A and B are shown apart, each in its own frame.
Chain A
């Protein structure tokens, strides 16, 4: 088949930086291929994608040196971005930043109106694109009421409406829950089957590896791996800070020197080595004091008629790691808000270490329970990291020597000593800013720590490092962790107990193994199985 993208010896360097992001990268992609782009944050994935669609250097200034770039017969450096977009459609991470209208069909029409497509044809194309992404039934829906997955599908529809030949997706699911991500992956696969060339960068490798034709792994601005999936995993993706499928890891333990590794459970079972494995079930006894007990809690947001929590009951023991999982809108975040005392239950009660949570205010609460929000920017207020930590301590009523000690302790724990005088808003979005947001809660040394999707948007390596760090601190300080997450691997690896929220209730609770097993029978809970083993 014809090569649709040809890049030869590409160098890219941003202004104000002396190190190039891409160093002599050469690449050819065939029409109709499905390419997965992996690598650590900062390895140059986004830069490469933005060179292909011409955003670099036409919108984001950078020096692009070196050989030739040919995308469907055009040089994106010399073609206006909107013309390139007729050939290369691009979908970025945050769906909200790519939607401009209040109504679904208006948004799809936005790009077409700008290009002066005739109204008759425009209306046809809008319907066609919405059909493709399966949103036709929500044509007249307000955009801001769509779920994350639906919003991203709408973005894809808007991009597809101009009929591009290549679709670029830059971590399209990092802001979505499992159900939303699954929708995107299925859609992208369907589009690929219809002949569209796809280049996607993605951290959830395990979920997409079975769909793609080819994996390109970037390391420090150069191609490190470029191969068919089974052989690519054999070259050890973990070196690129990327998670590999669990079956691959298992297989590696048994057979170290193969050049062809299984990437799905079926393949693994076919190899006939599953019986060599012993399944070790770990079970932690429910002992110790009850840290959190939620009794028949119902909750409705003020000014709303819809009940969000419809009688939640749960108990979490001191020292446990509890995961709360479930699709978006099931009431997970609301439950966390209630635990953290941001809202009071409409009825029912919450006990935190035998204190009635409704009566727990101010300092007493801060010292008992800390809440790390999903997005670090949502909880950073000060112009320096130190100020941020002092702010928490002030609210917790801790002053003087004790405060100094605590700050020293927490920055040592998290290894952020050298960041103290920097502005938290200027730190790198992924790792450092997240660490500071965790530090700003940990500094009050609460007995319970709530983490709302602690690793969202982080690459695999950073996620693992962060989770290990938090668990070490948890062990040393004897904390209780409550974690809202969409990452089932984290649930399996770290938690003692998992709760499935569905439709405002705890639909099931048990050990992660029990939860995974039960969730097979309930597809509506979302896709909880990682590998099925």
Chain B
């Protein structure tokens, strides 16, 4: 029973809990920042020409690919998503300079795995897990007092917890939660991988041209294009502002004082500095708006309704074949989702707080 005393010693219990609660997301950030870095993220916007089939396809076909993959992933059981994910990743072989692309794509996918699996493993309600897996195995539980802070796991009952015995309404890490998290992630990564495939193989302006050709107003096309091409500049502005803040004396972003009043004062100062820095970034970004607008007007933006396109965007034979295949995939997906036990249990969501299912 030594292990019990070590693992569930209140201090150690709290430390492990806090690490799990706080450092899961931090790990994701670490992955994205350390492995991709700003440079890597910028390369998302750096289109490199290629010759293979995937580059010759109409952007709309690739958009459809992304939509179909996401839809089928959403409505069918997880391993179909996994197969589609692998299939999409196989298409990456058609990209030129695959290595550099994987350097960006893999950490994003990995981060998605860790991020989703992490949250699900802790926060998936075990009442829900019981429906899917018919059984819930707790690996480690958090202190009961967490419930006071509002952290609950949406279920009730007595559960056996290793080294601790039976616990009423436990909150903690479950084996099924982790499995479930991983399953859900396959849906997400299939979607992400197919979206990235579109970006890697199509110049952004061609994506917009194809959408404009299909009726997107040029105002929206322009705004989208300007937004995308401003992202590198906003990132650069953010870096410079943070650097200038460091040069001014390196604000320490963690309050360190032990005296509670000083701690609060320090925290407030930090918040103020963060807000000041954000305002600076916003001003630095927006102050050129007038100049940009003049430059766009001079170049006849919105001057005429008729418009021509620099590049021919046309559906070719390969596009029609691909579209046919995609429609077949979609129909198969809808059919499979109707089979017992093959439907998708849950949906990937955009923001965290709806990610409850």
Contact = CB atoms under 8 A, between A and B. Distances in A.
Interface residues of B, number: 68
Contact of B308 (A82, A119, A159, A440): A119
A144 B276 contact: no
Contact of B45 (A90, A111, A142): A142
Interface string B177-197: 000000000000000000000
A111 B300 contact: yes
B114 to A, nearest CB: 19
A182 B176 CA distance: 66
Contact of B310 (A90, A123, A302): A123
Interface stretch (B122-130, B161-169, B222-230, B327-335): B222-230
Contacts of A103: 47, 203, 205
- The winner among B229, B248, B252 for most chain A CB atoms within 10 A is B248
A380 interface: yes
A304 B229 contact: no
A533 interface: no
B248 A366 contact: yes
B249 A81 contact: no
Contact of A114 (B204, B241, B280, B301): B301
Contacts of A302: 34, 37
A239 B252 CA distance: 49
A363 B249 contact: yes
A143 B298 CA distance: 20
A442 to B, nearest CB: 12
A303 B248 contact: no
B288 A100 contact: no
A373 B229 contact: no
A90 B306 CA distance: 24
B304 interface: yes
Nearest to B203: A103
A144 B204 CA distance: 14
B232 A144 contact: yes
A440 B36 CA distance: 35
- The winner among A82, A98, A114, A363 for most chain B CB atoms within 10 A is A114
Given A96-B233, A102-B47, A378 B241 contact: yes
A198 B280 CA distance: 37
A116 B38 contact: no
A145 B48 CA distance: 13
Contacts of A361: 250
B303 A80 contact: yes
A55 B293 CA distance: 11
Interface stretch (A334-342, A457-465, A518-526): A334-342
A304 B279 CA distance: 28
Interface string A37-70: 0000000000000000101000110000000000
Contacts of B203: 102-103, 106
B298 A81 contact: yes
Given A113-B308, A303-B37, A378-B284, A101 B251 contact: no
B294 interface: yes
Contact of A96 (B247, B250, B288): B288
Contacts of B40: 303
Contacts of A116: 304, 306-308
Nearest to A54: B298
A119 B309 contact: yes
Interface in A72-109: 80-82, 85, 90, 92, 94, 96-103, 105-106, 109
A371 B244 contact: yes
Would you call the interface of chain B mostly helix, strand, loop, or mixed?
helix
Contacts of A118: 308
Contacts of A413: none
Interface string B189-220: 00000000000000111000000000000100
B308 A97 contact: no
B135 interface: no
Contact of A362 (B241, B249, B288, B306): B249
B310 A381 contact: no
A377 B287 CA distance: 10
Interface stretch (A11-19, A210-218, A312-320, A389-397): A389-397
B291 A97 contact: yes
B296 interface: yes
A102 B45 contact: yes
A481 interface: no
Interface string B282-298: 01100110011111111
Contacts of A98: 291-292, 295
B115 to A, nearest CB: 19
A3 interface: no
A199 to B, nearest CB: 15
A115 B304 contact: yes
B33 interface: yes
A382 interface: yes
A118 B226 CA distance: 24
Contacts of B288: 94, 96-97
B248 to A, nearest CB: 6
Contacts of B287: 377
Nearest to A429: B287
Contacts of A123: 310
B249 A365 contact: yes
A179 to B, nearest CB: 21
A491 B35 CA distance: 41
A395 B249 contact: yes
Given A92-B291, A94-B291, A100 B296 contact: yes
17 contacts: A59-B297, A81-B297, A96-B288, A97-B291, A100-B296, A101-B225, A102-B228, A159-B298, A303-B37, A340-B247, A341-B247, A341-B250, A361-B250, A362-B250, A377-B280, A380-B280, A395-B250
Given A103-B205, A381-B279, 18 more contacts: A81-B298, A98-B291, A100-B299, A101-B229, A102-B225, A103-B203, A105-B310, A112-B308, A113-B307, A114-B302, A116-B306, A122-B310, A143-B229, A340-B247, A378-B240, A378-B280, A382-B276, A396-B249
5 smallest beta-carbon distances between A and B, as pairs: A303-B37, A395-B249, A111-B299, A82-B300, A109-B310
